[in-house]
A and B are shown apart, each in its own frame.
Chain A
């Protein structure tokens, strides 16, 4: 038998370096997609295809309270309206918001038509249950994130889902929808009532945020009148700014029972912050 050539030894060693089974590959991990799902066409209309819903992700927002805002924006010499939300407030805190699948939630069985959930408040204690339909985004109701939170369980199911964002949406779009809750639970107490949603795509323009500027957003003002079967109704106002392919990138919420549609102090301001 011939002796193994010495100069081939390094080559043989390199081949042996990778022997054995691959023990760590994770099933399902792949090359990842390189095609971006949505490109804004900047036509001033928010189409259903420009509101892609990706479950499981989370985006970071700056959240601050008690902030002065200008919801009307400023019209520049070029005729374009500019909304300035670029201030860096000392009270800013960063909160992650994201859509998630409904199926794993404790309240899933109560919302047979729901598709996904998203947090309603920065603390993440309340979830809104949504679905997408031909006419737009629908809200099926509200539930507490936990089944038995300290402040008591909340489970408010609308008899019929309400339209909270019609699609396609353009400046001047208006809508009104009403959700009725019967036999609901609010913070552990029985609840019946009616929620009336009045929406208006009030304007369009450029939105400046601390890290980004969106050349084209729609400002959507939503007035919600919550009328419990017993007790005084509560009016809540908010202005949301929607960008094509991004969804809602900023939101200003007024204190309860604010009368001015163009309120100047926001109880909470939420701004996308990559």
Chain B
């Protein structure tokens, strides 16, 4: 019985996208934690992270965008200043509580002082402050809490759980050491092994819509069932856990894993006044309910081939959606429906020495695009107010939304996509890199790496200058990776912007930017 249940637990945990182990590393982890045992157990994993950084000229000296906002904030007092300095910290804790028998577990992810800036909110006058205020919504964030239980036919999981898949290009649990966000889904999932594969069916309560407190003042009730966003996902995969992969590749064998999922999401109506920030939020009533008619289908395929000296990983995603009425203002409907077809692709390959001391990697990425501005936070529509004056509201600028945006925690660089755009979006890139171990002993190793990223917009009309070439970035890293859980990472980046980021209106070329970042991590 034990031999049968262990792989079942492991496969099931992997497929639901939730973190199978206490450290909650996501979909592709082994999930080998629901092992039978007699006693109740608590396992805690986590890491304390402290980051400091110096950001130089991230506005690229190219003047503001068309909306008057610079690409990146500049110093308040010295508006010609080039450098911004800062840092933040976070304590991540992943807890797993195993019931006696080991067939049921409850898992929680709690982040403490979640990305709180160093020196944030001093007590009293800043110059005289001797302490800082530890309060606010970032002090304690419960990001996940879910339960898992193994049944004879599969694993049943329910709660708020992480959501990760494949390379992390689209669904990303934010589990990496430098990640900042991560997906979480309120989900009921059933996962079962079948024909040597894993099949998973998940139903997500993506959005409940507006709620009101019941008479007990504690519980809530959703007020408009048709405004709920519902998602249904079916996944099928062949997957090998990490220890097994290492063991097999160590013996010179290859491992081939693959998977695919289809996810369907719908929303019939919407209540935008519950989430659009208005200066005069109107009271909830039937008048605030607008037709939405949202339907979206996401298809994703992933495969990975790994051997002793190589790893090749490919993920392709295609998203299609239609929105009958994309307006965010009650009482205003857009006559034309909005259609969306987005495609994203990542090909990641690495070639390494047998002892993994040195490696060379090549990553390619593609994200489709439309002509909407690459640096806008959202499309906007200028509307008339009194007597022909205007105000601006966020609605689709046209009837197409074809830009594919990768997950913010899917990192390929340190300046352009991470800091300026916010994510890989509407662009293609090529990223060669090398990594080598400079020194090492039983306490750890000193690793250096160097990556270069060349990127282009996939639709030149989306860039400020109407050109394609976004630029080249060089990202060196020097890191001490201790065997005791301590990591010290010194990261740099130099970005040499291309013609696409120039300012044709002001006749300015974008200038290079750079950053330095130090990251200390204490893992347990």
Give A residues with C-beta under 8 Å from B: 7-8, 10-11, 13-32, 34-43, 49, 51-61, 86, 97-99, 116, 118-119, 128, 130, 132, 137, 208-216, 243-249, 272, 274
Please pick, from B54, B282, B506, the residue contacting A15 in the complex, using a CB distance under 8 A.
B54
Q: Which residues of A contact B494 (CB under 8 A)?
A: 13-14, 17
Q: Which residues of A contact B56 (CB under 8 A)?
A: 15, 17-19
CA A116 to CA B387, docked complex, whole Å: 10
Beta-carbon contact of A214 and B331 below 8 Å: yes
What are 17 contact pairs spanning A and B, CB under 8 A? Answer: A17-B494, A20-B82, A24-B59, A24-B503, A24-B506, A25-B79, A29-B70, A31-B73, A32-B68, A40-B329, A41-B283, A56-B389, A99-B385, A132-B386, A212-B332, A244-B331, A245-B391
Please list the residues of chain B having a beta carbon within 8 angstroms of any beta carbon in chain A. 54, 56-59, 61-64, 67-70, 73-74, 79-83, 273, 276-283, 287-288, 327, 329-336, 381-394, 438, 448, 450, 474, 476, 478, 490, 492-496, 503, 506, 508, 511-516
Given contacts A39-B330, A40-B282, A98-B389, contact A18 B57 (CB under 8 A): yes
Q: Which 3 pairs between the two chains have the least Cβ-Cβ distance?
A: A18-B56, A57-B390, A10-B476
Taking the closest CB of chain B, its distance from the CB of A244, in whole angstroms, is: 7
**Closest beta carbon of chain A to B518's beta carbon, Å:** 10
- Complex Cα–Cα for A42 and B58 (A): 44
* Docked CA distance A105–B274 (Å): 42
Interface SS of chain A? loop
Q: A14-B474, A274-B383 are in contact. Are A37 and B391 (CB under 8 A)?
A: yes
Closest approach, in angstroms, between the C-beta of B266 and any C-beta of chain A? 22
Cα of A204 to Cα of B358 in the assembled complex, Å: 74
Give the CA-CA distance A38 to B312 in the complex, in Å: 52
In the assembled complex, which residues on chain A have CB atoms less than 8 Å from the CB atom of B390?
54, 57-59, 98
Q: Which B residues are in CB contact (< 8 Å) with A130?
A: 387
Q: A41-B282, A42-B331, A57-B382 are in contact. Are A30 and B478 (CB under 8 A)?
A: no
**Which residues of B are found within 8 Å of A244, using beta-carbon distances?**
331
Of A22, A27, A98, A211, the contact of B336 (CB 8 Å cutoff): A211
Q: Which residues in A have their C-beta under 8 angstroms from that of B81?
A: 21-22
Chain B positions within 8 Å of A249 at CB level: 384
Chain A residue at minimum C-beta to C-beta distance from B397: A274
Q: How far is the CA of A146 from the CA of B54 in the complex (A)?
A: 53
B58: A residues at CB distance < 8 A: 18
Q: Is the CB of A26 within 8 A of B64?
A: yes
Closest A residue by C-beta to B390 = A57
* Known A-B contacts A24-B506, A213-B333, A274-B382; A38 and B68 likewise in contact (beta carbons under 8 Å): no
Q: Hey, which chain A residues are within 8 Å of B69, CB to CB?
A: 29-32
A128 to B450, CA, bound (A): 64
Contacts A27-B79, A215-B333: A11 and B391 contacting too (C-beta < 8 A)?
A: no
- How far, in whole Å, are A118 and B389 apart by their CA atoms in the complex? 8
Q: Is the CB of B277 within 8 A of A214?
A: no
CA–CA, A214 to B69, complex, Å? Answer: 31
Residue numbers in A under 8 Å from B74 (CB-CB):
22, 25
Name the residue in B73, B288, B387, B515 with the highest tally of chain A Cβ atoms < 10 Å from its Cβ: B387
Q: What chain A residues lie within 8 Å of B474 (beta carbons)? A: 10, 13-14
A49 to B331 CA separation, bound complex (whole angstroms): 17
Interface contacts beyond A17-B56, A98-B390: sample of 4 additional A-B pairs, CB < 8 Å, sorted by A: A14-B474, A19-B56, A35-B278, A272-B383
A22 B384 Cβ-Cβ under 8 A? no
Q: Tell me the complex Cα distance, A35–B394, Å.
A: 11
- Which has the most chain B C-beta neighbours within 10 Å: A10, A55, A214? A10
Q: Cβ of A36: which chain B residues have Cβ within 8 Å of it?
A: 276-279, 391-394
A34 touching B385, Cβ below 8 Å: no
A37, B279: Cβ atoms under 8 Å? yes
Which residues on A sit within 8 Å (CB–CB) of B336?
211
Taking CB atoms, residues of chain A closer than 8 Å to B335 are 86, 208-213
From B63, B281, B391, B394, contact of A57 by CB (8 A): B391
Cβ-defined contact, B389 with A247, below 8 A: yes
**Neighbour of A247 across the interface among B61, B280, B385, CB < 8 A:** B385
Least CB distance, A193 to chain B, in whole angstroms:
24
Q: Are B388 and A247 in contact (CB under 8 A)?
A: yes
Give the complex CA separation of A22 and B63 in angstroms: 9
